[in-house]
A and B are shown apart, each in its own frame.
Chain A
Amino acid sequence: QSVLTQPPSVSGAPGQRVTISCTGGSSNIGSGYDVHWYQQLPAAAPKLLIYGNNNRPSGVPDRFSGSKSGTSASLVITGLQAEDEADYYCQSYDTSLSGWRVFGGGTKLTVL
């Protein structure tokens, strides 16, 4: 059971918008800790997608955006493309367990 909760799967047709949620609690996201998002394409290493809740590294399309509110965060992908089919993970910091870095369980995005 992950400290951060994500839906196991989401799907959308090309061109649509999808949202992936990441729900935490008072010892992690709710304490003000930043949320980061990673994309893992099939058979590849994870790659940083969003950092500090809503910042995109150089090279990441502006179709990807992040937000945070209270004890939750969201990743939004607009103009869905076939190449976006991947697993997405949120990550934050948790103070209830000796300052761990924690991941969400991951969300599989399927482009229909």
Chain B
Amino acid sequence: EVQLVQSGAEVKKPGESLRISCKGSGYTFTDYCITWVRQMPGKGLEWMATIDPSDSYTSYSPSFRGHVTISTDWSISTAYLQWSSLKASDTAIYYCARHKITGNSHFDPWGQGTLVTASS
């Protein structure tokens, strides 16, 4: 079974750093891209960034470029989303999703989501 399992909920203070993870299983990790999606409380889905684990090529939404960094460690089939300095407005659920490398491919499956709370 193809699965993406994300790391657990995090509570941090604004200004702190954070890295959350997304581990793939049941498929060849480098054959598919991983995309990160944000869902703020009570709001819709927002595309943040995409990474191709085969060559670490990344693309970022202008809304998130410079504020987050995505990476992968293909040796352990894991993708990461990290912040160097959280803001209170980063409070949200973050999902990872798998998709084919080519074109406008659909997201399937999705991870279960990681709730990040940034509060003083």
A binds B: yes
Binding site for B on A (CB under 8 A): 2, 33-34, 36, 38, 45-48, 51-52, 57, 87, 89, 91-93, 97-106
- Within the complex, the shortest CB–CB distance from A11 to chain B, in Å, comes to 19
Seed contacts A46-B45, A52-B106; 19 additional CB < 8 Å A-B pairs:
A33-B104, A34-B104, A34-B106, A36-B106, A36-B107, A38-B107, A46-B97, A46-B110, A47-B109, A48-B107, A51-B108, A91-B106, A92-B104, A100-B47, A100-B61, A101-B47, A102-B47, A103-B44, A103-B45
Task: Number of B interface residues at 8 Å Cβ cutoff, please give it.
Answer: 22
- Within the complex, the shortest CB–CB distance from B93 to chain A, in Å, comes to 9
Q: Which 9 A-B residue pairings sit nearest by Cβ, starting from the closest?
A: A93-B104, A51-B106, A48-B108, A106-B44, A36-B106, A101-B47, A103-B45, A45-B110, A33-B104
Cβ of B41 under 8 Å from chain A: no
- Within the complex, the shortest CB–CB distance from B25 to chain A, in Å, comes to 16
Cβ of B95 under 8 Å from chain A: yes
Given contacts A45-B95, A45-B111, A57-B108, contact A99 B59 (CB under 8 A): yes
